[in-house]
Amino acid sequence: MEALRQRARELLAAGTVQAVLGYAAGSEPDRARPCFVRTAAEADGLIWNEHCRQNLATYLQKPEVRALGRLALVARRSTLRALLQLAAENQLADGRVVALFVADDGAVTELPTLAAIEELVARLPRGLSDADRQELDRIAALPLGERQAYWAGEFARCIKCYACRAACPLCYCARCITEANQPQWIPVSSDPLGNLEWNIARAMHLAGRCVDCGSCSDACPEGIRLDLLNHVLAEEARTQFGAEPGYSVRKDYALASFKPDDKQEYIR
Amino acid sequence: MTEQRILSRQNLGPLFERLAADGRRILAPVRHGDRVGFERVTRPDEVALDYVQTRTSAKSAVFPPYEPLLQFALQGKDVQVAEPAPDAAPTVLFGVHPCDAASFATLEAVFTWDTPDLPFESKRANLTIIGLSCTQGDAYCFCTSVGGGPGDPRGSDILLTPIGATHFLAEILTERGQAVARLAGELLEPHRGNGKDAALAQIPPRFDARQLGAKLPALFNHPAAWQEQALRCLGCGACAFVCPTCSCFDITDERDRYHGVRLRCWDSCGLALFTLHASGHNPRTKQSERWRQRVMHKFAYQPERLGVLGCVGCGRCSRACPVDMNLAQHAQQLAETAV
């Protein structure tokens, strides 16, 4: 934690960045909150623990945050992947942010360029946590009807507050499809059809783009495991199209690119 | 008209049966893992009586997340309009905490201040509230900062307060409460003088909402009061949608060429779209202006215009917020900010 604070102080003191986006202590010991450190003295408030989960790359699209100037971003693996995916989608210019990657042992690696991020991400372990993998396998093993009932039960609790969208670093559309009404693609009601269409539309839009940060389900006030849904589609996009979002700034978006030799086995 | 009686926990079953026999459905807190929510129940063993707070509030009983206001159909050159009958079955809301019970006064103030809102009023008229005093709170509870308390009877028709592990003190507070008491009959036993306060949670006040409300207009343009707090706000609607008093809605027509339905759905001042004009102009361009609106509306505008606070201190917004925008903490900071 002290290494992180020290790096933040140095970056601010040298004028390399105007603000460090990190985490500060939250309301309760089991929470952390995003914070915006503007002076070296404020860096004392930075913390790092398992509760620092909201993907801070989400803030890069926010005008008030952009206005702060050049930024350093306290990052875990999924934050780095979000930065690369945003760059791949032309949403992030090289050098606009300095990533401060914090390893499990608290060591801080400063990554000033996208190339440096690519190099580090390539070396990090991949995959889900054991608990997430088990839960995903449990759901996947359910017979179709039960699996359908599971997700219907989850979506029944959705109140369409759009916290999932707001917390997602890759949900940056200036105008979300759920707000389009000419034509109205997604029913506005949080009824079974409206909730199904909203959550499926969002998951499909993230297929091959999601970087598995879990901020969507962390944000959901009803605790719907949207991260698992997204992960299923991520695996689908990977096996079918070789999509590996967040590992390179040069990746094509699987659902928006065409190759003559694309696999077509999914058409049945 | 308050009467005090004793209700044994064993008698909850027979009470539920009598309510059902009278044609009333029962909504009560039900636990699923770490999540508690209001659901329709038939038996007391389905009900979580030891919960601190549900994720979403009980306002859906009178103000559901989505609701059809009218249906229309094009027939030749005529438009046929039909108003659907509101779903206003006689309902008992059982086991809501005093903060939620108090929230109905705010909702009523909004929905009855001008043109009668029939979808709301029909449901409210058929709703009886059996509250449950709080014997435990958590760090997010702040009812005592906004004029409430863990044993506050306001809003409840009957308020139950646990006495030991086996009984409740039942305060019968209103005519609707009397009607339930008549159904309960001998299930409500004479009160033998047990104290109420001893069982209640301790929720220390953190600020004075009335004083804060009086001060807020002077803080409207304060350079530091809003922007720093709102920098981390993601601009979702979670706080408003879990809030028991937030009552803003959007009206949308959904239609094909010949048929349509006019819906009202929950909306939130935290969403950028909330104030977006058809012209493309948005009078609230920054998230800090949206967050300010939320605080001002609850603590200044509603008290001034409707005579009610827009906050009951349930703490749901702060528990639900993905980025820990703690309303009580910010209100406390504002209360301590020099004008």
| Contact state of A163 with B237 under an 8 Å Cβ cutoff | yes
- Which residue, among B56, B63, B69, B236, would best test binding to A if mutated, counting the most A CBs under 10 Å from its CB? B236
Chain B residues whose CB is inside 8 A of the A166 CB are 234-236, 322
How many domains is chain A built from? 2
Same domain, A27 and A114: yes
Does A263 map to a domain? Answer: no
Whether the per-residue pLDDT at B197 is higher than 90: the answer is: no
Give the pLDDT of residue B218.
96
> Which of B155, B144, B141, B152 lies closest to B317 in space, CA to CA?
B141
Contact criterion met (CB below 8 Å) for B42 and B72: no
Could you tell me if A135 and A251 lie in one domain?
Answer: yes
Q: Which of A91, A123, A155 is the last residue of a domain?
A: A123
Q: Say whether B234 and A187 touch across the interface (CB within 8 A).
A: no
Sign of CA dihedral A70, A74, A80, A85: negative
Compute the mean pLDDT over every residue in chain A, rounded to the nearest whole number.
Answer: 93
Residue A159 CB-half CA count within 13 A: 29
Of B140, B254, B286, the CB nearest to A187: B254
Q: Shortest Cα distance from A111 to chain B (angstroms)?
A: 23
Same domain, residue pair A119 and A149: no
Instruction: Say if residue A115 is in the same domain as residue A151.
Output: no
Hey, is the C-beta of B66 within 8 angstroms of any chain A C-beta?
Answer: yes
Where does residue B254 rank: exposed (0-12), middle (13-18), buried (19+ CB within 10 A)? middle
Whether the pLDDT of residue A181 is over 90: the answer is no
Q: Which residue of B has its CA nearest to A176?
A: B273
Across the A:B interface, residue pairs with CB atoms under 8 Å apart total 109
Give the C-alpha separation, A178 to B305, whole Å: 34
Q: Which residue of A has its CA nearest to B264?
A: A189
Alpha helix (H) ranges present in A174-214?
A: 192-206
* Residues A27/B139, Cβ–Cβ less than 8 Å: yes
* A200 pLDDT higher than 80: yes
User: Could you report how far apart the first and last alpha carbons of chain A are, in Å?
Assistant: 53
Residues of chain A with pLDDT > 70, as a percent, come to 99
The pLDDT of residue B194 is: 60
Domain annotation covers residue A268: no
List the structure tokens of A74.
């306290």
Best probe of the A interface among B35, B63, B231, B326, by most A CBs < 10 A, is: B231
pLDDT of residue A104: 86
Interface contact B219, partner A, CB < 8 A? no
Asked whether residue A264 is assigned to any structural domain, the reply reads no
Condensed to tens digits (0 to 9), the pLDDT of residues A64-89 reads 999 999 999 999 999 999 999 999 99
pLDDT score of B114: 87
* Both tokens assigned to B68: 């059809």
pLDDT band (50, 70, 90) for residue A255: confident
* Mean pLDDT, residues A39-64: 96
The ipTM estimated for the assembled molecules is 0.94
Q: Is the residue at A265 inside a domain?
A: no
Q: Do A190 and B318 touch (CB under 8 A)?
A: no
Residue A15 lies in a domain: yes
- Cα separation, B301 vs B269, in Å, equals 14
Degrees to nearest 5, angle at CA B197 with B98 and B173: 50
- pLDDT value at B275 more than 70: yes
- Across B262-277, average pLDDT: 95
Provide the whole-model pTM.
Answer: 0.95
The pLDDT of residue A263: 72
User: Do B258 and B73 contact (CB within 8 A), yes or no?
Assistant: yes
Identify the DSSP state of A253. P
Are A218 and A251 part of one and the same domain?
Answer: yes
Judged against a pLDDT cut of 70, whether residue A63 lies above it is answered with yes
The answer to whether the Cβ–Cβ distance between B238 and A161 falls below 8 Å is yes
pLDDT tens for B284-318 read 999 999 999 999 999 999 999 999 999 999 999 99
pLDDT of residue A242: 85
Confidence of residue B129 (pLDDT cuts 50, 70, 90): very high
Find out whether the peptide bond into A187 is cis, omega within 30 degrees of 0: no
Which residues pair with residue B40 across a beta bridge? B27
H or E element: which one contains A230? helix A226-241
> pLDDT at residue A139 above 90?
yes
B68: distance to nearest CA of chain A, Å? Answer: 10
Instruction: Select from A35, A65, A162 the Cβ nearest to the Cβ of B236.
Output: A162
Query: pLDDT, tens digit, for every residue of B162-193?
Result: 998 999 999 999 999 999 999 999 999 998 77
Report the percent of chain B where pLDDT is more than 90.
88
Quick one: A203 and A245 in the same domain? yes
Which residue among B228, B286, B323 places its CB closest to the CB of A33? B323
When the pLDDT of each residue in chain B is averaged and rounded to a whole number, the result is 95
A27 vs B329: CB contact, 8 Å cut-off?
A: yes
Residue where the block lists tokens 């005529």: B78
Query: What is the model's pLDDT at position A165?
Result: 98
What is the pLDDT, as a whole number, of residue A265?
Answer: 75
Whether the bond between B90 and the residue before it is cis, its omega within 30 degrees of 0, is no
Q: Are residues A236 and A119 in the same domain?
A: no
Confidence bin at B1 (pLDDT 50/70/90): low
Specify the DSSP class assigned to residue B58. G
Do both A48 and A156 map to the same domain? no
Domain boundary among A123, A154, A176: A123
Task: Provide mean pLDDT across the span A109-136.
Answer: 95
How much is the average pLDDT of B236-255? Answer: 96
pLDDT at B87: 81
Amino acid at A31: R
* Domain that residue A36 falls in: 2-123
pLDDT in tens, B135-169: 999 999 999 999 999 999 999 999 999 998 999 99
Q: Are residues A182 and A102 in the same domain?
A: no
For residue A33, the distance in angstroms to the closest alpha carbon of chain B comes to 5
- pLDDT single digits (tens) B73-89: 998 889 999 998 888 89
pLDDT-wise least confident of B6-20, B93-107, B245-259: B245-259
Is A213 part of any domain?
A: yes
B104 has a chain A CB within 8 A of its CB: no
Angle at B317 between CA B316 and CA B321, to 5 degrees: 120
Helices B98-111 and B118-125 sit at what angle, rounded to 10 degrees?
Answer: 140
Contacts of A161 in chain B (CB under 8 A): 236-238, 240-242, 268
User: Could you tell me which chain A residue has the CA closest to the CA of B288?
Assistant: A64
With respect to residue A24, please indicate whether it lies within any of the assigned structural domains: yes
A192 and A115 inside one domain = no
Q: Same structural domain for residues A117 and A234?
A: no
A144-164 per-position pLDDT tens digit: 999 999 999 999 999 999 999
Beta bridge partner(s), residue B32: B35
Tokens found for residue A39: 């002076």
Measured CA angle at B322 (ends B319, B326), to 5 deg: 50
Helices (H), chain B: 12-21, 98-111, 118-125, 175-184, 209-219, 227-230, 238-242, 287-296, 302-306, 316-320, 327-336
User: Does the pLDDT value for residue B223 go beyond 90?
Assistant: no
What letters, b where the CB count within 10 A reaches 16 and e where it falls short, cover A97-107?
Answer: bbbbbbeeeee
8 Å CB contact of B232 and A33? yes
A 14-33 near B (Cβ less than 8 A): 26-28, 31-33
Q: Which of A71, A96, A123 is the last residue of a domain?
A: A123
Please judge whether A162 and B286 are an interchain contact, meaning their C-beta atoms are less than 8 angstroms apart: no
Buried b / exposed e over A27-40, threshold 16 CB at 10 Å, is beeebbbbbbbeeb
Residues A162 and A53 grouped into a single domain = no
Task: Look up residue B16 and give its two tokens.
Answer: 């539920």
Asked if residue A59 belongs to a domain, the reply is: yes
**What does the DSSP 8-state code read for residue A181?**
B
Mean pLDDT of the B23-48 span:
96
